[in-house]
Structure 1
């Protein structure tokens, strides 16, 4: 899978939450946005389209506001890293790095909203989506039709976001599961900076 949904970078942003016990999914999301400065977690991702199913896994790191590192390790190595201004996508197999303006690249995606300021309700309408098993779900629907995702669901257990389900404008369904979250850990600024290795082709994105 060489085409990565950039917005997922940060989907992953909301893994460990410090919310009161028995809080609703929306309350837990807001607690995370308001109180989490940094986050590190493992993730596994499954993308399902009409004709295929693709799986990947890796590690994410977040430093609010606006900095994130979304690193795929399986089945191939790919790095998506943003320092708040510039977004880099590095494909190790292709020896290619793409550079974009971070704000233009992410727009009002979950990555931009959750890794940035407390603005999620400006672009998404939040609704409680009920409980399935031991997971409390919320649904986030875009207020504008030109958004990257047509539907987002977030599942919480024990005050932590454990799953996300996203449907993009092309009808692809993405499920992300989070594990081993570490909230408000020390993450050096160097984790969110990228220098292309020698010999790598650099492409400037739109």
Structure 2
């Protein structure tokens, strides 16, 4: 098995570029300062600036909470998610270092199955308690604690419903874009996109930012991860399903007797 994809995705569990704030309030502060200068009253300026700073802080917190709530609402409707994906990983110089295709299946809370079919077959399963990485080439399964694997990593928000976990990340909404099919001249075929950037509040993690983009049907259409090595992994989803039967063995791993199990929990 080629390990590149599974190892990268494990690193995304902290096992695998954008910088836009939810709302800038700098203009409000600047306007307040200018008004104070025109009044030519230092004491009024000081009092006004203090008030403006308070309002700006409150506005920033309010907007941030609104953006977080908006993303949580989108993901809460995504109790199930299954889709094919095309993955491209590029380095800091935008050179392609890996490409893959496969299927991603998720259910909330906290379960995920990642399978690749190209260039090699790989399997990674997060069952809510542990992450299982199956390497068929060397006949080995590596098991790590899921709580440790996704600690302070934005990928956890895809399946987490815990408010304490959400509070560890800053979330900003990016400028809306559009995508269109081959008949883009028909306005009915133009699709609005919603993008959210998630950044850990604590620095030093494996993933620097995670960007989620949703289509006009509020489905997760793509996922972009920038890691600490300045590599960027982009997953574009296809054949998206949000309602489907989930077989009992979807988030379990059947380990052959001949396989070595490296349990690191």
Determine if the TM-score, normalized by the shorter chain, exceeds 0.5.
Answer: yes
Q: Does 1:95 align with 2:139?
A: yes
Unpaired runs of 5+ residues, structure 2, are 14-65, 180-192
- Pick closer, same or farther for the CA change 1:25–1:76 going to 2, 3 Å: farther
- Pick closer, same or farther for the CA change 1:44–1:52 going to 2, 3 Å: closer
Q: Which residue of 1 aligns with 2:109?
A: 65
Give the secondary-structure state (helix, strand or coil) at the position aligned to 1:4: helix
Whose relative contact order is higher, 1 or 2, with alpha carbons under 8 Å and at least 6 apart? 1
| Mapping of residues 44-63 of structure 1, within 5 Å | 44-50=86-92, 52-63=96-107
Q: Which residue of 2 aligns with 1:196?
A: 255
Q: Which residue of 1 aligns with 2:46?
A: none
- Pick closer, same or farther for the CA change 1:46–1:25 going to 2, 3 Å: farther
Pick the structure with more helix per residue.
Answer: 2
Between structure 1 and structure 2, the one with the greater Rg is: 2
Could you say what the CA RMSD is over the residues aligned between the two structures, in angstroms?
A: 2.3
- Between 145-154 and 106-115, the greater mean CA deviation after superposition: 106-115
- Pick closer, same or farther for the CA change 1:147–1:137 going to 2, 3 Å: same
TM score, norm. by length of structure 2? 0.65
Q: Distance in 2 between matches of 1:48 and 1:124?
A: 25
How many aligned positions are there?
Answer: 192
Q: Which residue of 2 aligns with 1:161?
A: 220
| Mapping of residues 139-150 of structure 1, within 5 Å | 139-150=197-208
Q: Distance in 1 between matches of 2:203 and 2:221?
A: 27
Pick the structure with more strand per residue.
Answer: 1
